[in-house]
Amino acid sequence: MKEENKGVSKNNWKRVFKKKWFFPAVYLTVAALLLAGVLWYQNLDNQIPEATDTPQSEVDNDGYPLGYEQDSSPVVNQSEVIKMPVLEASQTEIVTKFYAYEKTSEEQEQALVLYDNKYYQSKGIDIASTTDETFPVTAALSGEVIEVKQDPLLGYVIEMKHDNGVTTHYASLQDVTVTSGEQVDQGEALASAGKNVFNQANGTHVHFEVRKDGEAVDPEQFLNKPLSDIEVPTEDDDNGEEAEDTSSITSDEEQEDEDNSEDENDSDNRESSRATTNA
């Protein structure tokens, strides 16, 4: 009986092996077990904390490690230099300069704006395209937009605030893309150059100003220089120039007095010689 049972069981296994579905089922079962093992191993690895992670108890609410203060301004701002407020400086030109008393008469003439039959001194520079076409106006420095307004004479105006009491101003704009309170990176587009009523002679242009503590300074003088180099001209320099001019005027008046005195002496001498001759 036992031998018969063994023969029957062997025949049953042979029949199972001969089934077409047997080996595919075995392969699928083994593959499923392997996949389950891989997934379990990966999940276990993700649950192990890395030794380089900062412990949760040593991190503040903003995600910064305790004992370290976050710098209030990005480090890149400290190394930025003032750039022309255009994408391609080679395709633009400065058509109106900054007016200053120490400049030559030719430079001062280039810094005057004619409006309503009167000349006004420019407190910035006007930049126009060499092809008289509009062009993107970009931020000369990274900073915060503190004002965006439309002026009836100047067109759209944008004012930005930077470190060290420096502000930049952009006028004669169109298609403004920024809003007040927005943080803008250097080189980011603010608007497009347009036309305004105040300076129609320059056509499509952007008026650009740089101010230090509210005082306008010459933008050209500080291009490609850091904010720390921006300084307002002192009054001593102006007073010195005025003193020199006053001194030269005084010298001329004294010279005229001396000449008049000499003429009077000559006249008296001639009259004396005539009197002596008549006598």
Fold of 81-235: Glucose Permease (Domain IIA) (2.70.70)
Whether 172 and 207 have beta carbons less than 8 Å apart is answered as yes
Report CA 178 to chain centroid distance, whole Å.
14
Which band of pLDDT confidence, cut at 50, 70 and 90, is reported for residue 16?
low
Higher pLDDT, 109 or 9: 109
Report, as an integer, the average pLDDT of 179-184: 96
pLDDT above 70 (res 150):
yes
Can you give the pLDDT at residue 34? Answer: 82
The mean-pLDDT minimum among 88-92, 126-130, 178-182 falls in 88-92
Report CA 28 to chain centroid distance, whole Å.
64
- State pTM to two decimals: 0.59
Higher pLDDT, 84 or 27: 84
Report, as an integer, the average pLDDT of 113-123: 94
Whether 192 and 201 have beta carbons less than 8 Å apart is answered as no
Can you give the pLDDT at residue 37? Answer: 79
Can you give the pLDDT at residue 242? Answer: 38
Residue 124 CA to residue 31 CA, distance in Å, equals: 75
The closest of 184, 183, 231, 187 to 82, measured between CA atoms, is: 187
Residue 108 CA to residue 226 CA, distance in Å, equals: 26
Which band of pLDDT confidence, cut at 50, 70 and 90, is reported for residue 93?
very high
The mean-pLDDT minimum among 26-30, 104-108, 259-263, 273-277 falls in 273-277
pLDDT above 80 (res 258):
no
Which band of pLDDT confidence, cut at 50, 70 and 90, is reported for residue 263?
low
Q: Which residues pair with 119 in a beta bridge?
A: 114
Higher pLDDT, 233 or 106: 106
* Cβ-based neighbour number of residue 278 at 10 Å: 6
Can you give the pLDDT at residue 54? Answer: 46
pLDDT above 90 (res 276):
no
Whether 248 and 241 have beta carbons less than 8 Å apart is answered as no
The closest of 195, 221, 209 to 141, measured between CA atoms, is: 209
pLDDT above 50 (res 207):
yes
- pLDDT above 90 coverage of the chain, percent: 49
Q: What is the mean pLDDT of the chain?
A: 77
pLDDT above 50 (res 243):
no
- pLDDT above 70 coverage of the chain, percent: 63
